[in-house]
Structures are given as structure tokens and as C-alpha cells.
Amino acid sequence: MDVPANSIAPPRASATRERPNVLLVFPRFNQNSFWSLRAACDIYGVRCPAPPLGLITVAALLPPEWNLRLVDRNAEELGPADLAWADLVFTGGMLPQRVDCLEVIDLCQAQGKTVVIGGPDATSSPEVYEQADFLVLGEAEGIIDSFVQAWKQGDRTGRFQAAKFKVDVATSPIPRFDLLRTKNYLYLGVQFSRGCPFMCEFCDIIELYGRVPRSKTPEQMLAELQALYDMGYRGHVDFVDDNFIGNKKNIKKFLPILEQWQVERNHPFMFSTEASINLADDPALLRLMARANFFAVFVGIESPDTNTLNMAQKKQNTRRSLADSVHAIYASGMMVLAGFIVGFDTEESGVAQGMIDCIEATSIPVCTVGMLTALPGTQLTRRLQREGRLLPFTDLGRGDQCTAGLNFVPLRPRREILDDYRRVVQSVYRPEAYFGRVRNIGMLLRKKHGLRRTPNVPPARTAKRDLIALLRLMVRMTFVRTDLTLLFWRTLIWTARNNPGALHVVATQMVLFLHLGEFAKFVVRDVERQIDAIDREAEEPARADAGPAVRATARSAALTR
């Protein structure tokens, strides 16, 4: 039977333009990274720590009639059928995802798919991603409409740049949480604000999101949490804010409303976040966070040395006892995780011991100790460029700041810095030292002010998963990690007797050690390889006599291993 011309289905090209199939692909993080938390994921029976909040926010900004699917390469494979389905592929991520992100672009383009790249690393280093068909740079809310319009009018390449720091996050939609397989993740993320008022020299956050924090409204935030609640999710939710207390006025308005919301639903979520250490100066704010069921805060301590903190423009960490500040946070019932950095210009030879002492005095079990890294677009990178000290750093996408830092010519001998770095990592991740700090926080975490609940009690709905994880941990610590058996049981029994309310936190810290202890050994081996390479270079007399330019090249070669 002949079909009249006007009844023929519209050609695919037109469907592609109006209702494209969009595949959102989240690239893999480098596996050898502090935050990959592999062993912890095994214990909890999940595939990776956290889902791609940025990509599902972009998904919410796309036209509702577009067909969307998500593949998180940290949790699942990107198969040929996924690519065959897609008209368009959106991808992008952070620096430790760069290697895989470039692979994703290659894979997609080999199948003739149009690739759109965005996210923080593409925004900081667009030149790395020139091969993508579309570059959508900056905060998506400020630019995605221009891309959509270009796509609909038939463009198949283009570059779009959002105006910096202009997005009003109060208009940001609820992320498409429905695209996630929540069972794959240790925890989920939400975001209340972007930006941070401080000006640390090495920080790329303030370059990407500005120094005037922009917040969502309390109603908007509760709508996001309600969406998670309605999906049946319970448990750990991380506020991924750059500095949760960047705008104290707004956060103090929001927290009592959040507390009320939690009480009405019998505390479905436990929260964590990142904040500057001046949180410790505000007892009212600490109380509000604890009452809303925040159980953990990541704080950038960076260095125990005041000169170094001043030079790094981290003045908020000076004129205080770091140990007293951290203990004030513990006293509110929240635990502290912290970041430390080795490799600043003003460091002296005592830096390693000073840092080890600081970590012991603050009793922080989980410390990311990294090497200073000049991240693209930061004040530090600009200064080092001016001073002619920035090195071409081919390994930047390979690891994280623990193995791929010091991408510049330091003022102290590189070997000395590496040696100090190795000493700190080796010392703070000795099992006796780590479990000792875990026991300390088990004692220091006190009942939250004015709450009937003991600190850090997980929601009832996650009890089964937590119990299974605890049993797996017991088996692993007793029969597999026999080197840790005594420390584990001593710490567990001691906490059960002295502060049972802190058991959940203490058990979590011990789970984390299964990854962190092994990762520390990997870092130490990696640093030792770098030190050996420097020693070998020094032993070659021809090179030793060859002058500064060749020595700089040798340093660079040692870095790239």
C-alpha cells in the first residue's frame, strides 16, 4: 500500500534535534586516590563513594521532553548499546577524572556521537578538551539555554561560557535524583551554597565560584531533601558546599528549619559537610548543626606553621589553637576530617614533626595529607608562572595531590620536601597511631546539646545495612587483617563501654582505615620512587655539572617518572 508523503514519520534528524536521546556519562576517578575509599565500599556493598551531583543538576536544566539516561563509569560499564542509543553525550568532571573523561570523548566520537563537555576541569582547562564538539563552560544554570538553542537550530559544534559568579542558585532546579541508582553509593550529595569568602592562594574554588557565597532558599533545599526522602533514601547525605558556613546568616536561618524537618520525619538523614575552622568560634552555629544531625565536618587545616598559613593567605587558621578549635567541634558531637599540605615556600625542616604533632593533638583520624599542587587558574599558579617556577606537569590527571603534587620548582630541595611528606604519611597512618586517634574521638564526641538522641545515631531504616557492614568489618578485621585484630577489638570494646553513642562514628573510622592504611603504603612507595629517581640523578656527575637549566629538566623528568 502506498503511504501518502505527508503521513511519513518525521526523519530521525528532526527527532534528534527536538527530542534527542542524551546520555550523561560520569568519568571514572583515578583509582589510586585518597577518596576512592575502595575497601570501605566493599564493606558497605556499594560500588563507589558518591554520585555525580553536577551532571544530574545539568540533567534537570535540559528541556523536559529530551530523553535522558545516566552512566556513572565509577559504578557501571559504558556499553556499546548505551552509545548506540545516544544522539548526544554529556560528560565532564574534576581533575582526577581527566584521563577517563578524554577516553570517554574518544569512545563517543569513534561512534560518531556528538559530545558536550562541561564541569570544573573543562572550565579551568578548556584547552585540554578542544576535541569535544561543544564546550559548555562555567556554571551550567548560566549558559545551558544558549547551548540548547544552538542545538535546536542545528548547530553541531560550539563553545559557550557562562558569566562568572552570576548564577542565582536560588533558581536552580531540583537535581534529577531519579536518574541515580542510589544503592551504588556510600552517600548522596546536595548543595546549599557555592563560593567561599576566604582567599587561600592555592584554592580553585574561589576562581570557579567566587568569593561571595550564593545560597539556595530553605524551601528549595527542603524540596531537594524531600525528593530524596520520597525516593525512599535514608542515611548519609553530604552537603557538598565549598564552605558550608561561608554565609553564616543564611545558614543560621536554614538550620532550625532543617532540624524541624528532620524531627518530623524521625531523622532520616545524617549530614556531613566542609567548613572553615572559624566554625569552632561560633557555639550557636555548632549547636544548630549538631541538632540538625550533622555528624562530620571536613576542615582545611593545611599547616601547623603560622608563617606558612599567612603566606598561603589562610589567615582564618591563624591566631588560634588548632587543637582547641577542633576539640570545640568534637564537643558539639561532630567529628572532624582534615586536609594538610606539604610543600609551601615558607616551610622549614621541622614541618614534618610539627604536622605529626598537630594531627596527634587534634586527634583527627582521617587526614588527607597531600603535596602542594598548583591547580589551573589559581593565584598560586599565576604567581609561580610569574616567578618562572611552574613545571609542565604531564601527570596532573594521573593521581591526586598525594601522588601528583609539587608541579613546580620548590624553594626547599625537592628531595627534602618528599622526605618530610613521606614521614608524615608513614607516621599518621601507622595502625597504632590511627586507632589511637579513633579511640580519642570516641571519648571526645559528646552528647549533642539538648538532644535526647545520642550523637550520630544512624536512621533506623539503614540499621540492616549498617549491621551487615559491621559484621563484615568484624570478619575482615579478625580473620583477614590479623595485623589489626587486637587494635580493632580494643577500640570497639573500649568505645562500647565508655561512649556507646560514638560507636557508629568509631566503626566508620575503622572501616575507612582499610582503604586509607593501604593507600598510605601506596603513597609512601610512590614517594620513595621519586626520591630514588632524584638520588640517581644526583649520582650522575655529568648531569650534576650541567647547570641549572638541565637540573630543572631533570627535576621535571623525576616528576613524570
Q: Least Å distance between CB 252 and ligand SF4?
A: 19
Which of residues 114 and 317 has its CB atom nearest to ligand SF4 in the complex? 317
Helix axes 322-331, 431-444, angle to 10 degrees: 60
Q: Least Å distance between CB 157 and ligand SF4?
A: 34
Which of residues 378 and 495 has its CB atom nearest to ligand SF4 in the complex? 378
As a whole number of angstroms, the distance between CA 295 and CA 510 comes to 16
Q: Least Å distance between CB 316 and ligand SF4?
A: 7
Q: Locate 241 and state its grid cell.
A: 558546599
Which of residues 199 and 222 has its CB atom nearest to ligand SF4 in the complex? 199
Which of residues 203 and 356 has its CB atom nearest to ligand SF4 in the complex? 203
Which of residues 339 and 354 has its CB atom nearest to ligand SF4 in the complex? 339
> What are the residue ranges of helices labelled H in 37-111?
38-44, 53-61, 80-85, 98-110
As a whole number of angstroms, the distance between CA 358 and CA 320 comes to 13
Which of residues 228 and 372 has its CB atom nearest to ligand SF4 in the complex? 372
Q: Least Å distance between CB 191 and ligand SF4?
A: 14
For residue 341, list its beta bridge partners.
Answer: 370
As a whole number of angstroms, the distance between CA 435 and CA 471 comes to 19
Q: Locate 415 and state its grid cell.
A: 628531595
Which of residues 245 and 428 has its CB atom nearest to ligand SF4 in the complex? 245
Which of residues 119 and 300 has its CB atom nearest to ligand SF4 in the complex? 300
Which of residues 132 and 196 has its CB atom nearest to ligand SF4 in the complex? 196
519-539 burial: b if 16+ Cβ within 10 Å, else e: bbeebbebbeebbebbeebee
Q: Least Å distance between CB 209 and ligand SF4?
A: 9
Q: Least Å distance between CB 190 and ligand SF4?
A: 18
Q: Locate 107 and state its grid cell.
A: 569512545
Q: Least Å distance between CB 394 and ligand SF4?
A: 26
Q: Least Å distance between CB 302 and ligand SF4?
A: 8
Q: Least Å distance between CB 197 and ligand SF4?
A: 7
Q: Least Å distance between CB 405 and ligand SF4?
A: 15
As a whole number of angstroms, the distance between CA 506 and CA 349 comes to 34
> Which of 532, 300, 308, 317 lies closest to 412, judged by CA?
308
Q: Least Å distance between CB 303 and ligand SF4?
A: 12
Which of residues 94 and 433 has its CB atom nearest to ligand SF4 in the complex? 94
Which of residues 100 and 207 has its CB atom nearest to ligand SF4 in the complex? 207
As a whole number of angstroms, the distance between CA 94 and CA 403 comes to 16
As a whole number of angstroms, the distance between CA 375 and CA 405 comes to 9
As a whole number of angstroms, the distance between CA 123 and CA 164 comes to 11
CB 179 within 8 A of CB 75: no
Amino acid 417 reads I
Sheet holding 88-91, edge to edge: 67-72, 21-26, 88-91, 114-117, 134-137, 158-161
Contact set with ligand SF4 (CB under 6 A): 196, 198-200, 203, 205-206, 242-243, 276, 300
As a whole number of angstroms, the distance between CA 325 and CA 221 comes to 29
Residue 276 Ramachandran class (φ > 0 left, ψ -120 to 50 alpha, else beta) = beta
Amino acid 99 reads V
